[in-house]
Amino acid sequence: MRKKILQAILLAVAVTGLALGGPLVYTTVLLVENTVRTQERETASRIADQIDDQYAQRQPLNLDLVRPAVPRQGYLKVVDQYGNVLTVGTPISGGTVSESASTVPRGSVELSISDDNMRSSQFQEGGLVMLLLVLSVSIGTVVATLTARRLAEPLQRVAERATRLGDGDFRPDARRHGVQELDALAEALDTSASALAQLVTRERELVGDVSHQLRSRLTALQLRLEALAMHPEQETAAEAGAALEQADRLAEVLDELLAAARAARALGAEPLDLATELPGIVEEWRQRLRADGRVLRMKVPDSLVVRATPARLREAIGVLLDNALQHGGGTVTVSARNSEGTAVIEVTDNGTGVPDELASHIFERGVSGHGSTGVGLALARALVDADGGRMQLATARPATFVIFLPVPKSDDVLAGVGWRADPGPR
């Protein structure tokens, strides 16, 4: 994008420079020549006037009187009224600039000078114009580069923001670019991110509610059918057994559908090395906490690989760090460890913690003790769940949130397996 913008502006600058520079140099050359010829014409006219004065006073023609008016190294040829040719100076070899004037009653004056000085002046003046033209194009190039950067960087940020949104990173971006159209687009992306975050949360809640209700009703139905299958009448018992078999199959189908839904959400999960992934996430928030006079520390072992979607993990940890920034206090610590085949990521701050009345409802949508929307933690938990992990509040004081993520087998890591989930029922 930046390259195309820069090329377009430079092309406009180059075309403008060529369109104006050529005629301007040509005009400068003509102007220098016209100036020299005008000065020489005026000198020839003054010499002719002096000769006319001599004729008017009936004096013999004396060129010594006009010699001071002849330029140095100039050549003057005078034709008097009788046709005699008189000269002052030495004939000039090479290029000349000549101008003439008439005398009364008949005769002429022709003044010639070498064109070396005129050509030198033309070269200097034309070179100066070209230098100014090159300077103007250089300034235009600098301005074009800055303009292209000013336009391309916001466009690149907006494109990256849209890409993160598609990857499941629903965090709002407060940066604005000073360009009305781009700022409006950023506002639209933030609005879409908020709407998608609520949609993902509602989807998880709906799946959880439907699963719970179906399982409860199905379990009750199975219990009743099991009791009915023990009826003394064989026909009734046989029908109850057949119905129980169908209920068991329905339970299996329900499990497969839920597994397929989870697999579809976790389709982008891949092996991530927390020693590489976490520093990038933490560094993004370290500057914000430092601006608030707080410290963010990180502890992560080498080669701790988890199965997760990069954007979802970044979003979930970002929510916890934002929560610590907005509602916590003191030093914030992000640590990771391996615990019996499960990666544990902890985010702790030294603030006042979570109130007791909110501790058991902290992940419910709309629950907040500080006037916020109450969507962030619910969304973060839904994203972690989508990758097959868990998020919970380990301690309320100090506030410690824990993310549990699956750790792959060593054979899978060595083989580079990406655990591509089967989106269909097994």
Same domain, 216 and 281: no
Query: Is 277 inside a domain boundary?
Result: yes
The tokens of 70 are what? 């002849």
Same domain, 406 and 331: yes
Query: Is 201 inside a domain boundary?
Result: yes
Query: Is 256 inside a domain boundary?
Result: yes
Residue ending a domain, among 236, 265, 294, is 265
Give the whole-angstrom CA distance, residue 183 versus residue 193.
15
Give the whole-angstrom CA distance, residue 259 versus residue 392.
22
* Structural domain containing residue 217: 180-265
Instruction: Name which of 116, 122, 129 is nearest 31 in CA terms.
Output: 122
Residue ending a domain, among 220, 238, 265, is 265
The tokens of 205 are what? 């809640």
Instruction: For residue 133, give the H/E element and its range.
Output: helix 116-166
Instruction: Name which of 274, 267, 301, 305 is nearest 414 in CA terms.
Output: 305
pTM attached to this predicted model:
0.46
Same domain, 89 and 185: no
Q: What share of the chain is helix, strand, coil (3-state, %, to 5)?
A: 60, 15, 25
One digit per residue, pLDDT tens: the chain, 426 residues?
567 766 777 777 777 777 777 888 889 999 999 999 999 999 999 999 999 998 888 888 888 899 999 998 899 999 988 889 999 999 998 899 999 999 988 899 999 999 999 999 999 998 898 888 888 888 878 887 877 777 777 777 777 777 767 666 666 677 777 777 777 877 888 777 777 766 766 666 666 667 767 778 888 888 888 888 888 888 888 888 888 888 888 888 877 776 666 555 555 668 889 999 999 889 989 988 998 899 999 999 988 899 888 888 888 898 899 889 988 889 999 999 998 888 999 999 988 888 888 888 888 766 655 555 556 788 788 888 878 888 999 998 889 999 999 887 654 443 343 444 433 333
Query: Is 137 inside a domain boundary?
Result: no
Same domain, 328 and 388: yes
Query: Is 197 inside a domain boundary?
Result: yes
Query: Is 156 inside a domain boundary?
Result: no
Using omega within 30 degrees of 0 as the cis cutoff, is the peptide bond preceding 398 cis? Answer: yes
| pLDDT for 46 | 93
Give the whole-angstrom CA distance, residue 277 versus residue 280.
6
The secondary structure of residue 92, as a DSSP letter, is P
Same domain, 185 and 321: no
Using omega within 30 degrees of 0 as the cis cutoff, is the peptide bond preceding 105 cis? Answer: yes
| pLDDT for 145 | 80
What are the helix (H) ranges across 303-396? 310-327, 356-359, 376-386
Same domain, 112 and 11: yes
Structurally, the chain folds into a number of domains equal to: 3
Instruction: Name which of 251, 202, 205 is nearest 225 in CA terms.
Output: 251
Query: Residues 346, 389: contact at Cβ < 8 Å?
Result: no
Same domain, 408 and 287: yes
Q: What CATH number corresponds to the domain at position 343?
A: 3.30.565.10
Please list, in sequence order, all residues whose beta carbon lies within 8 angstroms of the beta carbon of residue 213, skipping any fewer than 6 positions away: none
185 Cα distance to chain centroid: 14
Residue ending a domain, among 213, 240, 265, is 265
Strand pairing class (342-349; 305-308): unpaired
Q: What CATH number corresponds to the domain at position 96?
A: 3.30.450.250
Same domain, 106 and 190: no
Same domain, 244 and 289: no
| pLDDT for 34 | 94
Query: Is 368 inside a domain boundary?
Result: yes
Same domain, 276 and 403: yes
Same domain, 321 and 381: yes
The tokens of 422 are what? 């089967």
Using omega within 30 degrees of 0 as the cis cutoff, is the peptide bond preceding 355 cis? Answer: no
Query: Is 159 inside a domain boundary?
Result: no
Same domain, 410 and 274: yes
Give the whole-angstrom CA distance, residue 208 versus residue 239.
32
